[in-house]
Protein backbone atom coordinates (compact mmCIF):
# COMPACT_ATOMS: atom_id res chain seq x y z
CA UNK A 1 0.00 0.00 0.00
CA UNK A 2 1.46 3.38 -0.98
CA UNK A 3 1.52 6.32 1.48
CA UNK A 4 -1.25 8.10 -0.48
CA UNK A 5 -3.45 4.99 -0.46
CA UNK A 6 -2.94 4.64 3.27
CA UNK A 7 -4.89 7.85 3.87
CA UNK A 8 -7.70 7.29 1.38
CA UNK A 9 -11.34 7.83 2.27
CA UNK A 10 -11.72 4.04 2.57
CA UNK A 11 -8.86 3.95 5.09
CA UNK A 12 -10.56 6.52 7.32
CA UNK A 13 -14.03 4.95 7.00
CA UNK A 14 -12.62 1.60 8.11
CA UNK A 15 -10.54 3.03 10.98
CA UNK A 16 -12.90 5.65 12.48
CA UNK A 17 -16.33 5.52 14.08
CA UNK A 18 -19.03 7.62 12.37
CA UNK A 19 -18.55 10.44 14.93
CA UNK A 20 -14.76 10.37 14.55
CA UNK A 21 -15.12 10.43 10.75
CA UNK A 22 -17.49 13.40 10.98
CA UNK A 23 -15.02 15.37 13.11
CA UNK A 24 -11.76 14.32 11.44
CA UNK A 25 -12.77 14.18 7.80
CA UNK A 26 -15.84 16.43 7.55
CA UNK A 27 -14.52 19.13 9.93
CA UNK A 28 -17.25 18.54 12.48
CA UNK A 29 -17.23 19.59 16.13
CA UNK A 30 -18.34 17.54 19.10
CA UNK A 31 -20.56 19.21 21.69
CA UNK A 32 -18.67 20.77 24.62
CA UNK A 33 -18.29 18.70 27.80
CA UNK A 34 -19.18 15.47 25.94
CA UNK A 35 -15.86 14.28 24.49
CA UNK A 36 -13.79 11.50 25.99
CA UNK A 37 -10.84 13.71 27.02
CA UNK A 38 -12.26 17.12 27.96
CA UNK A 39 -11.73 16.45 31.69
CA UNK A 40 -8.90 13.86 31.60
CA UNK A 41 -5.45 14.74 32.95
CA UNK A 42 -3.65 11.39 32.68
CA UNK A 43 0.06 11.50 31.80
CA UNK A 44 0.80 10.46 28.25
CA UNK A 45 0.77 11.42 24.60
CA UNK A 46 -2.22 12.46 22.52
CA UNK A 47 -2.04 10.97 19.04
CA UNK A 48 -4.00 11.63 15.86
CA UNK A 49 -7.04 9.35 15.68
CA UNK A 50 -6.56 9.10 11.91
CA UNK A 51 -2.88 8.20 11.57
CA UNK A 52 -1.33 7.82 15.05
CA UNK A 53 1.01 10.83 14.79
CA UNK A 54 2.02 12.25 18.19
CA UNK A 55 0.29 15.65 18.38
CA UNK A 56 0.26 16.81 22.02
CA UNK A 57 1.90 15.92 25.34
CA UNK A 58 -0.21 15.73 28.50
CA UNK A 59 2.07 18.23 30.27
CA UNK A 60 0.80 20.97 27.91
CA UNK A 61 -2.87 20.17 28.63
CA UNK A 62 -4.84 22.57 30.81
CA UNK A 63 -8.44 23.17 31.90
CA UNK A 64 -9.67 26.05 29.76
CA UNK A 65 -13.25 25.67 31.02
CA UNK A 66 -14.48 25.44 27.42
CA UNK A 67 -15.51 21.76 27.41
CA UNK A 68 -12.87 20.55 24.94
CA UNK A 69 -9.35 19.25 25.56
CA UNK A 70 -7.04 22.27 25.50
CA UNK A 71 -3.27 22.42 25.10
CA UNK A 72 -0.91 25.41 25.08
CA UNK A 73 1.46 23.84 22.50
CA UNK A 74 1.68 20.93 20.06
CA UNK A 75 4.30 18.21 20.50
CA UNK A 76 6.26 19.97 17.73
CA UNK A 77 5.47 22.63 15.15
CA UNK A 78 5.92 20.10 12.34
CA UNK A 79 3.01 17.84 13.35
CA UNK A 80 0.21 20.35 12.84
CA UNK A 81 -0.93 22.58 10.00
CA UNK A 82 -3.01 25.71 10.40
CA UNK A 83 -5.63 26.98 7.97
CA UNK A 84 -7.89 30.02 7.91
CA UNK A 85 -11.52 29.07 8.71
CA UNK A 86 -14.53 31.30 8.04
CA UNK A 87 -17.21 28.67 8.71
CA UNK A 88 -20.24 29.40 10.90
CA UNK A 89 -19.80 33.15 10.46
CA UNK A 90 -16.54 33.17 12.46
CA UNK A 91 -12.94 34.00 11.60
CA UNK A 92 -10.61 31.54 13.27
CA UNK A 93 -7.61 29.29 12.72
CA UNK A 94 -8.25 25.62 12.08
CA UNK A 95 -5.71 23.02 13.27
CA UNK A 96 -5.09 19.88 11.17
CA UNK A 97 -2.79 16.89 11.43
CA UNK A 98 0.09 17.59 9.04
CA UNK A 99 0.57 13.89 8.26
CA UNK A 100 -2.97 12.83 7.30
CA UNK A 101 -4.93 16.09 7.09
CA UNK A 102 -7.46 15.22 9.80
CA UNK A 103 -9.33 18.16 11.35
CA UNK A 104 -8.36 18.48 15.01
CA UNK A 105 -9.99 21.72 16.18
CA UNK A 106 -8.95 25.38 16.37
CA UNK A 107 -6.25 27.51 17.98
CA UNK A 108 -6.99 30.74 19.85
CA UNK A 109 -4.84 33.50 21.38
CA UNK A 110 -6.30 33.20 24.89
CA UNK A 111 -4.17 30.44 26.41
CA UNK A 112 -1.74 30.41 29.33
CA UNK A 113 2.01 31.10 29.39
CA UNK A 114 4.40 30.25 27.97
CA UNK A 115 2.72 30.45 24.52
CA UNK A 116 -0.50 32.36 25.16
CA UNK A 117 -2.21 29.86 22.83
CA UNK A 118 -5.15 27.51 23.37
CA UNK A 119 -5.31 24.56 21.02
CA UNK A 120 -8.98 23.62 21.43
CA UNK A 121 -9.11 20.02 20.18
CA UNK A 122 -11.98 17.59 19.64
CA UNK A 123 -11.65 14.37 21.67
CA UNK A 124 -12.89 12.47 18.61
CA UNK A 125 -9.77 13.51 16.68
CA UNK A 126 -7.20 12.36 19.26
CA UNK A 127 -6.37 9.24 21.22
CA UNK A 128 -4.52 9.19 24.54
CA UNK A 129 -1.59 6.82 24.82
CA UNK A 130 -1.27 6.79 28.61
CA UNK A 131 2.18 6.72 30.16
CA UNK A 132 2.99 3.49 31.94
CA UNK A 133 2.86 4.23 35.67
CA UNK A 134 4.76 1.12 36.77
> Which residues belong to the annotated binding site?
48, 51, 97, 100
Catalytic residue flag (residue 24): no
Which residues contribute to the annotated binding site for Zn(2+)? Answer: 48, 51, 97, 100
User: From the candidates 80, 120, 121, 124, which is the catalytic residue?
Assistant: 120
DSSP letters spanning 70-124: EESS-S-GGGEEEEEE-GGG--EEEEEETTT--EEEEEES---TTT--EEEE-GG
Q: From CA 40, how far away is CA 61, in angstroms rounded?
A: 9
**Class of residue 107 by CB neighbours under 10 A (exposed 0-12, middle 13-18, buried 19+):** buried
Residues taking part in catalysis: 120
Amino acid sequence: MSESDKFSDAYFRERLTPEQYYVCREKGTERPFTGEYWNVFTDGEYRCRGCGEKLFDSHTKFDAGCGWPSFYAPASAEVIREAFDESHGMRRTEVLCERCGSHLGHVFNDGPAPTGLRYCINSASIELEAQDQS
